[in-house]
Structure 1
Amino acid sequence: MKILDVLQLFLSNKAVASIFHEIDGYHPDGLKAHQFETKTLLGPFLRISPLLISIAAFNYTDGITKSQIRSIDESLQAEHNMSVNRLFSLCDKLVRAGGAAREAFLKLLADIVNKNHLRRGSHADPRKNASDSFMINLSLILVKFAQPFLATLNPKMLEKIDIHYLSQRNKLLDLTEETKINSTIQEYDENYTDDKLTDKPLNFISDCFYLLLAYIHYGIGGIYISADRVKSGVKQLTEQLKKVEDMLQKAGSQAQTNPLMKMMIETKVNPLKKELHNLKAMKCAIEMFATNRNTQLEVFDIIIGSVTFFMKLVDPTHKYPSAPLQIPLRNMDDDVDKLDDIEYLRSISPVPFKYYPEMFIEGIVNYCHYISRYNNNPMFQNEEKLNKFVEFSITILRCPELVSNPHLKARLTEVLFFGSLPLQNGRDGYMMDIFNNNTKVKKNLMISLLDFYVMVEKTGASSQFYDKFNTRYHISFILEQLWKFDFFKDDLKRIAQKLQTFFVRLIARMLNDTTYLLDESLNHLHIIGSCQREIASRANGNPPSNDDSDEDLQAKLADSERIAKSFVQLTNKTILLFNLFTEETPRSFTIVEIVDRLAGMLNYNLVALVGPKYNELKVKDPEAYQFKPSELLFQLSSIFINLSNEQPFVDAVARDQRSFDPECFKRAIKILYKVGKVPGPEFETKLIGFVERAEQVQKEDEEEEMELGDIPDDFLDPLMYTLMKDPVKLPHSKISMDRSVLKAHLMNDPTDPFNRTPLKLEDVDDDVELKEKIQAFIKERKAALKQDKDGDVVMK
């Protein structure tokens, strides 16, 4: 570090600092991404930190305890803070030296980040990119440069950031390949043609701000990829090393004398141990950086300054933060067609915000997503700044025209999820006070979460079918925590009553999830139980009862265990949500589009839990899969009770010929009494009373069916094969079907069910002629039946 002392001494002379960039090697042309830290004058100084793998391996030796690691962390954090301060002081002298020196320094930083975009790639080769140590140091230096105009949240300082950065011809950042926040590349190119660009130079604050955003994404952001790679590498190397050591152990004493064995130890075992040690040390170093609260508080201050700028940018009045931002920017709550129309949302997205590179927002979201996993992260006990971040999150979720990327929104909801997790001392999560006390957040939180619960259905990824479940789990957990406060219960009622189309769409998605998750969960639990019993039987010397080999059996068991652990947990949360919602707003669940599917789902799963095959769900250690059959049975029974006073639901349960079984309800009560889950006698009274009413409806339906006799096929709905009451004709396929069945179909698939052409309910026509024929048929059959009965009376 003596060389650094000398360099600082030289640069303290402003005349020297002003021409330092002219020295050969300051910024050579044609450097590759990984060469800047070794082949530039400043690179070797700027790369030194505890995150260098050689330094990490030296500091975190094998065999150290957790308490020793904590002690080492504290020492290295203090050392790293001091080192970054010295490096910043050096760079500050170059910036303050004047125009040419400042411009050269900024161009160097820009060239480094422009060539290190691959650091964020999931398959990034660390040997071909700048090190975490180098990029983190540069990011932290920019953080310090930005503190005067971002950390203070001074509106006058924010105004100095040029919002027309994209129109700058000579901007430092290469944004040509960057995905835009909410516009296509073609739309961007049309709006930023060469003749529309300006040569007006940017001020230092603007250059510094946009460089900082790039470094938050590609600099600090690269460490998240490294953390995942290191974690995976430790696991793989540990397994490899164990296999080799097991082989050597079997060889016994020969391993010490056999030359081949010695060579194996020297050429394979020792390198594996060294590489494993390096990865474990790197893991410790990354965690040391992430838990450095002083550093992370500085970064988070800048994050909040950045989101404040973006809130100002999307504010139609551009007065934020001097005046509050009113959300939603456009109210589309009950116009679900607009909420689902990507092109429309892009057309109303604010300019120039929509054209900004997505990585400006992504870097901010990724940072908060990563850091929120750590105890004592910079959001914790930092309420003033945290309020700003939560407001930003709700704004992004509440206004679908702002950000189109569902993965970004999913990460935002996960940050809110971490903030809602109860603390170890039993207190509410550290964001809960904000959820309940910040007026803007409180007013918009419920509808924002419910809207994204629906919108996350389509992420655009090949894994979108499964991606949605994790996000919906996080949302469900947050909603469960909000249920402690009456305001949010009332807000749900308001949404259900005033925004019926919006709410119906939500319930349809919840129903789809629950149907799939419950079915898959119970199916995999059945496989687990079957495999466990077969493995135990074979272990006792019994012959195999199926053709699976022992290896196949273990593989099948492991696969179903992996799926069950995820799906059962998701099922529990979705069923809980149904219970909470049906208790508060039962009538909303009786609309024709969903009531039959809801009744069928509940009946089917009640039979699965208490019916003839319930023993097939028995598994060893059900808690390992979060499977609590008695709790699930209680939740299902509670949903029946919540809806028991709604006649359309009673009718729907009775119509379910596939699964409705009154005996299952009686068995459910006995089981719930046995496990102590019945809260009081009223619970049983309500459930049994509901079943009796459903039985009566079923009996009446059967009698009516017998009265009508054979119904002509033309009068039956082509999907459900039930007598149509309100037939409509589809415009493309020209097929008639019952309006209620079509409504239920369109909730999940907005197409003609017979030829897949796009279809909306308003496109169909009433089939008046068919309806008159059906009514005449019913009238004729009932008249004939009455005549038969009257004849019987006369005969008697």
Structure 2
Amino acid sequence: MTQSAGSYSNTVLPFVLSITVGVAYRSQSSEGVSSLSSSPSNSLETQSQSLSRSQSMDIDTASCEKSMSQVDVDSGIENMEVEDSDRREKRTLAEKDSSSSSDVSEEQASHLICKILRVSWKEQDRDVIFLPSLAAEFQKNPRDVYSDFRDLIGQILMEALMMSTRSRDCNPFASLTATSQPITAARSPDRHLTLVPPSSQSGSPMMPCTGSFGASSLSSLGASGGGMTGDSGSDRFTIESCKETEMLNYLIERFDCVGMEERKAPKMCSQPAVSQLLSNIRSQCISHAALVLQGTLTQPRAPLQPSLLVPYMLCRNLPYGFIQELVRMTHQEEDVFKQIFVPILQGLTLAVKECSFDSDNFKFPLMALAELCEIKFGKTHPVCNLITSLPLWCPDPLSPGTGREIQSLSFLGAFFSLSVFAEDDTKVGDKFFSGPAITMENTRVVSQSLQHYLESARGDLFKILHNILLNGETREAALSYMAALVNRNVKKAQMQTDDKLVSTDGFMMNFLWVLQQLSMKIKLETVDALYIFHPKCRLNVSTEETRLNATMEDLKSWLTELHEDPSKFSEPKFPTECFFLTLHAHHLSILPCCRRYIRRLRAIRDLNRCFLVKVILKKLVRSKACADAGLLDENLLRRCLQFFSMVIQLILRMVEPAYPGVTLPLNPEIPKSFAALPEFYIEDVAEFLLFIVQYFPQVLYEPCTEDIVNFLVVFICSQNYIKNPYLIAKLVEVLFVTNPAVQPRTQRFFEMMENHPVSINQLVPALMKFYTDVEHTGATSEFYDKFTIRYHISTIFKSLWQNINHQGTFLEEFNSGKQFVRYINMLINDTTFLLDESLESLKRIHEIQEEMKNKEQWDQLPRDQQQSRQSQLTQDERVSRSYLALATETVDMFHILTKQVQKPFLRPVSMETCYTPACRAFKNDHNISDAVQ
């Protein structure tokens, strides 16, 4: 290249600068771009210019620092518009003469520029870049080379970068000695974007970091045509070796050198003239980096090609302020901003798709995106605006598998997909839970580490979504996306679901965690309980969804009446929308995970009896260990319990506006708003309580425990409010599993329940009534279901009988209660049936065992007949064990009653009811004793 930098700019730059927010050169020509060689200037210029003439290109350090701060938003994110605390002061554009305003001479300023940019036009040296074109200009007429120092910096950078494009082997930066720790590059055979992070990774691409970026050594490496392999094995990110990389390395290090200079000589750099000069160097480095990233100086990059800047961001070793300035200087030019940052977002998406919790590489793309979303100027988060404008922000559904679609195709889907569940990602189980000597202690330690990883990843996911919600321009898009995630995964709540059609458990659990954080400070007073009936409700609640106490016709009639007067509805606010999104997210995430966990444990127990399926068993055990890490997380379960406590309070306020003051019986007229609620609002609470009591009971002791006790007592004692008897049975089961005889670790909770003021007078009669009512539930399995339900009630009765306060209620009910005779009748009938069935089962068991003892006769039976008999034996053993347990509990209850309160049984009606069944029961008991002997 023989033409000077100045003449080159006249021929090339008008095109370059017309499509970029770029280099802030002095603009005087008719095209808006001047020659880089113009009138001389002996002063330090303070004039700030931009190509578009619409923004300042100077770095406002204070503004950058302020833009990093985030507003602490409580529950009222509907009021998210934050005060503009980082408004810039307008700068004067008047030129100042250096001789009168500064002690820095032009020679000193030129020396400082050359020192930072590592260039020279006077002499060649191995540690600087010699600029021949600029040298020729200075020899010809030194006073006409540049108009101000900003102009000079632009010429220097442009010539240095253009020297790199002369030929493939030409690398002007190869002679530079690294002034800081370099980023090591590695070529990946699969061409994935990877980069070996430096040993110190505490720095942030947007925060001050201890180790600076050493570009020159990497540039010289790239020139030699190779990549450098680090020692970190597979934990690498790959950086592309090309001319653009050489240029970026140089510009990034020059940007960093400004900060190093300020730290080394703070007094000198605080002088206005020097400070302005350093600011100009920074802004010019950013402007030229923008040109490089667009491919303007080489060739345009393919639209889907990841940005060259992504590896630097993943390495987290960019100098402080680099990304913020790149955003600030380009975000007002929409086309340029998209051209630079869309490839960055695509690159981060590709990077996170390659990550897993089997290493800590997952955190780099998450942290990079979180920090990009945090960058704001005034009230605007430019990157958040860009993300929500992407075509794949919330893509339209294309197939029946809408849940899996939105996870796979949406922009945030890849980031939310990180998971420890074996069904989602086999790498975690293979690495941490596949060793030959996996002990309980090892599993516990690994689970804690994985939970720490999850907490870290979810924290960044929260920052991303929170900033999109904070940004007023993107809040609506964020809420629409959140609602789409819920609505497209409604099938996940079904008992039998095709997992290929819905989002994965890990994805939904991550989404739930973020929603829990958003809901944490919501006050119930700000939540509209009628939101799911609101015309503008984002959630798709089917009219076919089972309701607490309303038929489909009742629901349609009430909704028609409700919607006749639109004035009844106020505009939905964020706390209301966020609360109900979180409620439905629990229904689609934590509860399906709990059910899958229980099914997995049952499968492990069953397979333990079979020696032919050890491979399947080993896989299930590994899957269970992964689920322990992902599901049995104390912090997660506590947050779920706290949220369900808010749900309980909302529901109780609907039936008793004076709550927490509760008086039973409740109003016999059931509020229509309560009756029309989906049944799963209460069922989910009960299911979650059943899960934690069995698998993580220590979580139960929270300040919200009192609400849970109120919830159980109120609805068990108000059975007319819930039409589904199986839902009442599930609440009764919660009382059963918290019984100290079943779960000793919940004794304090059970004591709270039995000493509850309402419980003392209302619980025993309500349970006795339910004991008799459950005889007919309307289900096809009602005959067998009732035995389990009554077993639960009998166990509760035995514990309540030990409480002197409840004894009085029992005696009162026995002497004058309406349910007593029916209760005793059911008790004896159940005992009779259970003993009969147990006897029959024991007889069959004895017969088959005798057959199997005769080995010769057994071997003569056909194979299919042997299998049939063995299957019958297993079934009879299970049935007899279950029926005998139920019968024992029933007989024990009958024994307690007849021993403690004989008088009610001596009434004529009681004797007639009890005598015949009792005699039969006694006879069966005698026969069973004989059979066992």
> Shared fold by TM > 0.5?
yes
2:831 aligned partner? 514
1:53 shift after superposition: 3.0
Give how far 1:124 is off.
0.9
The equivalent residue for 2:408 is 38
Question: 1:419, 1:431 within 8 Å by CA — same for their partners in 2?
Answer: yes
1:74 shift after superposition:
1.5
Identity of aligned residues (%): 24
2:536 aligns with one of 161, 170, 175:
170
**AA paired with 1:404?**
K
SS at match of 1:133: helix
Superposition pairs of residues 464-483 of structure 1, within 5 angstroms: 464-483=782-801
Contact 1:95/1:105 (<8 A) preserved? yes
Deviation (angstroms), 1:432: 2.7
Deviations for 1:31-80, whole angstroms, at most 9, x for unmatched residues?
Answer: 51112222111111112132333244233224322221111111112222
| Shift, 1:277, TM fit | 5.0
RMSD: 2.9
Determine the C-alpha separation between the residues in 1 that align with 2:867 and 2:391.
64
| Matched residue, 1:357 | 678
Classify 1:435/1:15 alpha carbon distance in 2 versus 1 (closer, same or farther; 3 Å): closer
Could you say which residue in structure 1 is the equivalent of 2:492?
119
Q: How far apart, in 1, do the equivalents of 2:755 and 2:924 lie?
A: 43
Paired residues of 2:367 and 2:460 also in contact (CA < 8 A): no
1:550-589 aligned within 5 A: 553-589=869-905
Structure 2 CA distance for partners of 1:179 and 1:605, relative to 1, 3 Å: closer
Q: Which amino acid aligns with 1:617?
A: V
Query: Aligned letter for 1:505?
Result: R
Tell me, in whole angstroms, the C-alpha distance in 2 between the residues paired with 1:233 and 1:584.
44
What is the letter of the counterpart of residue 57 of structure 1? Answer: G
Match of 1:502 in 2: 819
TM-aligned CA distance change 1:610 to 1:367, over 3 Å: closer
Post-superposition offset of 1:491:
1.0
- Residues 254-273 of structure 1 mapped to structure 2, 5 A cutoff: 273=615
User: Residue 195 of structure 1 aligns with which residue?
Assistant: 564
CA 1:94 to 1:589, structure 2 compared with 1: closer, same or farther past 3 Å? farther
SS in 1 for 2:549: coil
Deviations, residues 7-31 of structure 1 (Å, cap 9, x unaligned)? 1122112432355322221111125
In the TM superposition, what whole-angstrom CA distance separates every residue of 1:231-258 from its partner, at most 9, and x where no partner exists?
A: 4665788889826x9xxxxxxxxxxxxx
Read off the aligned partner of 1:557 and give its amino acid letter. L
Q: Deviations over 1:485-526 (max 9, x none)?
A: 222221101122332x22223223222212211221222223
List per-residue Cα deviations over 1:448-470 (Å, max 9, x = no partner). Answer: 32222223323332212111211
Q: Does 1:392 align with 2:766?
A: no
> Residue 76 of structure 2 aligns with which residue?
none
Give yes or no for contact 2:420–2:450 (8 Å, CA) kept in 1: yes
Task: Please name the residue that 1:130 is paired with.
Answer: 503
1:764-783 per-residue CA deviation (whole Å, 9 max, x = no partner) reads: xxxxxxxxxxxxxxxxxxxx
Aligned pairs for 1:272-351 within 5 A: 273=615, 278-315=619-656, 318-321=657-660, 324-330=661-667, 348-351=669-672
Alignment partner, residue 532 of structure 1 = 849
Distance 1:607 1:236 in 2: 36
Instruction: List per-residue Cα deviations over 1:97-149 (Å, max 9, x = no partner).
Output: 12x52222222122122121221222211121110001111112111111112
**Structure 2 residue 429 is matched with structure 1 residue 57:** yes
Deviation at 1:430, TM superposition (A): 3.6
Change (3 A) 1:233 1:433: closer
Q: Any residues of structure 2 matched to 1:289-688 within 5 Å, and which?
A: 289-315=630-656, 318-321=657-660, 324-330=661-667, 348-379=669-700, 381-382=701-702, 384-422=703-741, 429-499=747-817, 501-536=818-853, 538-539=854-855, 553-610=869-926, 614-618=929-933
Per-residue Cα deviation, 1:739-782 (whole angstroms, up to 9, x for no partner)? xxxxxxxxxxxxxxxxxxxxxxxxxxxxxxxxxxxxxxxxxxxx
- State TM-score, norm by structure 1: 0.65
1:489–1:584: 8 Å Cα contact kept in structure 2? no
- Aligned residue for 2:819, secondary structure, equals helix
Residues in 2 aligned to 1:520 and 1:297: alpha-carbon distance in whole angstroms: 43
Residue identity matched to 2:706: N
Stretches of structure 1 lacking an aligned partner (at least 5 in a row): 150-156, 246-272, 331-344, 619-796
Whole-angstrom CA distance in 2 between matches of 1:386 and 1:513: 35
Number of residue equivalences: 553
In structure 2, the CA distance between the partners of 1:204 and 1:610, relative to structure 1 (3 Å rule), is same
Shift of 1:159: 1.9
Contact 1:423/1:429 (8 A) holds in 2: no
Q: For 1:7, which of 355, 369, 376 is the aligned residue?
A: 369
SS of equivalent to 1:37: helix
Q: Which amino acid aligns with 1:5?
A: M
Q: Structure 1 residues 574 and 544 mapped into 2: Cα distance closer, same or farther (>3 Å)?
A: farther
**C-alpha offsets along residues 409-433 of structure 1, whole Å, 9 cap, x if unaligned?**
2222222222113488x78724232
Write the letter of the residue equivalent to 1:579. Answer: H
Provide the rounded CA distance (Å) in 2 between the counterparts of 1:43 and 1:296: 24
Q: Deviations over 1:276-319 (max 9, x none)?
A: 6554332222223332112211111111111011111110xx12
Residue 76 (structure 1) aligned with residue 450 (structure 2):
yes
1:175 Cα deviation from its structure 2 partner: 1.0
Q: Deviations over 1:555-607 (max 9, x none)?
A: 44323211101000000111111112223333333455553342222222323
Do the aligned residues in 2 keep the contact of 1:422 with 1:428 (CA within 8 Å)?
A: no
State the alpha-carbon separation in 2 of the partners of residues 83 and 458 from structure 1. Answer: 50
Contact 1:582 1:589 in 2 (8 A): yes
543 and 358 in structure 1: CA distance in 2 versus 1, 3 angstrom threshold? closer
Q: Deviation per CA, 1:370-406, whole angstroms, max 9, x where unpaired?
A: 2221144411x43x42222021011111101222222
Change in CA separation of 1:114 and 1:494 when aligned onto 2, cut-off 3 Å: same
Cα shift at 1:356: 1.1
Alignment match, 2:460: 86
Secondary structure at 2:589 match in 1: helix
Farther off after superposition, 16-25 or 400-409? 16-25
After superposition, the Cα gap between the structure-2 partners of 1:19 and 1:191, relative to the gap in structure 1 and judged at 3 Å, is: farther
Rounded to whole Å, the distance in 2 between the matches of 1:18 and 1:135 is 24
Q: Give the aligned residue type for 2:737.
A: F
Q: Are the aligned partners of 2:835 and 2:924 in contact in 1 as well (CA < 8 Å)?
A: no
Contact 1:419 1:430 in 2 (8 A): no
**Cα contact 1:180–1:355 (8 A) shared by 2:** yes
- The 1:458/1:83 distance shift into structure 2, 3 A limit, reads farther
**Of the candidates 587, 599, 604, which is equivalent to residue 217 of structure 1?**
587
Q: TM-score, normalised by structure 2?
A: 0.56
Q: What corresponds to 2:512 in structure 1? A: 139
